[in-house]
């Protein structure tokens, strides 16, 4: 081949390479212009690379569960009451007693229910069904204030009550059962547990997040019909359409406790008062929510309370309750009253006018 031909081939190859390079550069430039253009026309472009709705929902749920667990064991620095550490008990005899008390509160039915190993003197519910996480959950009707504030005057009995009396109150009303003798092993153990977990609270103080939250009153009567609609959607898959709950596999304790019916709390119980029920469910139901992640609005909680507390449940003679009728709480559903409001208004509200009048009379 002559030098001239060689040169020609070289030139041809070179032009080819230059053209290819040119095309690459053109493509690069085009995409530099095209991507922003595409983003303007289709701002959701990157959603193609995002997680699907169901993946997001699953992650959110996982986070909520982790959060609610974290709330159950509040950190020291956020000011909420925290139970004293059971691991810190060095006396073995005392530790055994306190752990027995904890187990009695978490699994009451095992010991005192219809198939109880100690006695058959309660309705089959556990204290823990209403005092969540054995009485330690923030705003879960916990025992944070008990050791610090008892004995105290309680208007329901018109007497100064100690912790024994208060525990038996829940046994006779919430567990629709028979009072324990004060020196029984079971009473002593539950009292020891409740005292121990609340021992770090300053005497006389009600710590933050203890007991049940006070919800603001509605300016209308709470509505059982609205409550029923909500119940069907949000509650009955666990508590059942007839409200009677489901027993666990062992047939001894409840998997989902009863909200009404023969095996539920009776009409003298705290939860039968609308404000206690609404405050409890707001921060604790459906199961798994916490005060930081509630699912119900205040209004929904009041309407659900109205529905649940309109259903049939055991009665007992509580005519000796509230000996000073002027001290009855605004939401005590049984007369006689020191004011002119009806039993219906005392049951469902609106409660603000009743509260206002009570305040005026006190002055």
In the complex, the residues that contact ligand HEC under the rule CB under 6 A are: 105, 108, 125-132, 141, 143, 145-146, 166-167, 170-171, 174-175, 190, 194, 211-212, 234-235, 237-239, 256-259, 265, 269-271, 276, 280-281, 285-287, 296, 304
Choose between 271 and 354: whose C-beta lies nearer to ligand HEC.
Answer: 271
Choose between 9 and 171: whose C-beta lies nearer to ligand HEC.
Answer: 171
Residue 91 structure tokens:
């006396």
Choose between 156 and 358: whose C-beta lies nearer to ligand HEC.
Answer: 156
CB of 269 to ligand HEC, least distance (A): 6
Spatial separation of the C-alpha atoms in residues 314 and 176, rounded to whole Å: 8
Choose between 29 and 248: whose C-beta lies nearer to ligand HEC.
Answer: 248
CB of 278 to ligand HEC, least distance (A): 9
Choose between 254 and 341: whose C-beta lies nearer to ligand HEC.
Answer: 254
- The C-alpha R_g of the chain, in whole angstroms, comes to 32
Choose between 51 and 136: whose C-beta lies nearer to ligand HEC.
Answer: 136
Burial track 226-246 (b if 16+ CB lie within 10 A, e otherwise)? bbbebbeebbbeebeeebbbe
Spatial separation of the C-alpha atoms in residues 262 and 260, rounded to whole Å: 7
Choose between 112 and 354: whose C-beta lies nearer to ligand HEC.
Answer: 112
Which residues have a Cβ under 8 Å from the Cβ of 199 and sit 6 or more positions away?
A: 84, 147
Residue positions counted in the chain: 363
Left (φ > 0), alpha (ψ -120 to 50) or beta: where does 222 sit? beta
CB of 180 to ligand HEC, least distance (A): 8
Choose between 12 and 169: whose C-beta lies nearer to ligand HEC.
Answer: 169
CB of 237 to ligand HEC, least distance (A): 6
CB of 243 to ligand HEC, least distance (A): 9
Cα dist from 160 to 6, 169, 236, 320, whole Å: 115, 13, 39, 15
CB of 247 to ligand HEC, least distance (A): 12
CB of 42 to ligand HEC, least distance (A): 41
Left (φ > 0), alpha (ψ -120 to 50) or beta: where does 84 sit? beta
CB of 165 to ligand HEC, least distance (A): 9
Spatial separation of the C-alpha atoms in residues 331 and 121, rounded to whole Å: 29
Spatial separation of the C-alpha atoms in residues 278 and 274, rounded to whole Å: 6
Among the listed residues 277, 273, 270, the one whose alpha carbon sits nearest the alpha carbon of residue 330: 273
């Amino acid at each position: 081949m002559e030098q001239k031909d060689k040169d020609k081939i070289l030139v041809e190859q070179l032009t080819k390479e230059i053209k290819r390079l040119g095309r690459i550069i053109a493509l690069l430039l085009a995409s530099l212009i095209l991507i922003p253009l595409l983003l303007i026309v289709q701002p959701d472009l990157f959603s193609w690379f995002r997680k699907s709705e169901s993946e997001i929902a699953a992650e959110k749920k996982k986070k909520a569960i982790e959060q609610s667990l974290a709330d159950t064991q509040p950190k020291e620095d956020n000011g909420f009451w925290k139970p004293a550490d059971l691991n810190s008990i060095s006396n073995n005899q005392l530790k055994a007693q306190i752990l027995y008390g904890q187990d009695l509160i978490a699994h009451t039915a095992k010991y005192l229910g219809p198939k109880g190993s100690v006695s058959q003197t309660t309705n089959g519910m556990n204290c823990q069904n209403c005092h969540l996480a054995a009485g330690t959950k923030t705003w879960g009707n916990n025992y944070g204030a008990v050791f610090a504030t008892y004995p105290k005057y309680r208007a329901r009995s018109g007497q100064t009550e100690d912790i024994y009396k208060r525990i038996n109150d829940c046994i006779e009303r919430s567990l629709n059962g028979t009072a324990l003798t004060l020196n029984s092993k079971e009473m002593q153990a539950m009292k020891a547990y409740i005292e121990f977990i609340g021992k770090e609270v300053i005497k006389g103080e009600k710590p933050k997040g203890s007991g049940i939250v006070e919800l603001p009153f509605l300016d209308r009567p709470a509505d059982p019909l609205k409550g029923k609609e909500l119940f069907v959607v949000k509650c009955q898959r666990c508590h059942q359409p007839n409200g009677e709950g489901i027993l666990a596999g062992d047939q001894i304790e409840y998997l989902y406790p009863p909200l009404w019916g023969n095996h539920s709390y009776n009409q003298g119980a705290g939860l039968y008062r609308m404000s206690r029920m609404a405050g409890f469910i707001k921060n604790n139901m459906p199961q798994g929510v916490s005060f930081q992640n509630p699912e119900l609005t205040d209004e929904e909680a009041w309407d659900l309370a109205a529905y649940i507390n309109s259903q049939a449940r055991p009665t007992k003679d509580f005519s000796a309750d509230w000996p000073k009728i002027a001290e009855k709480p605004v939401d005590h559903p049984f007369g006689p009253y020191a004011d002119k409001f009806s039993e219906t208004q005392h049951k469902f509200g609106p409660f603000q006018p009743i509260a206002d009048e009570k305040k005026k009379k006190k002055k």
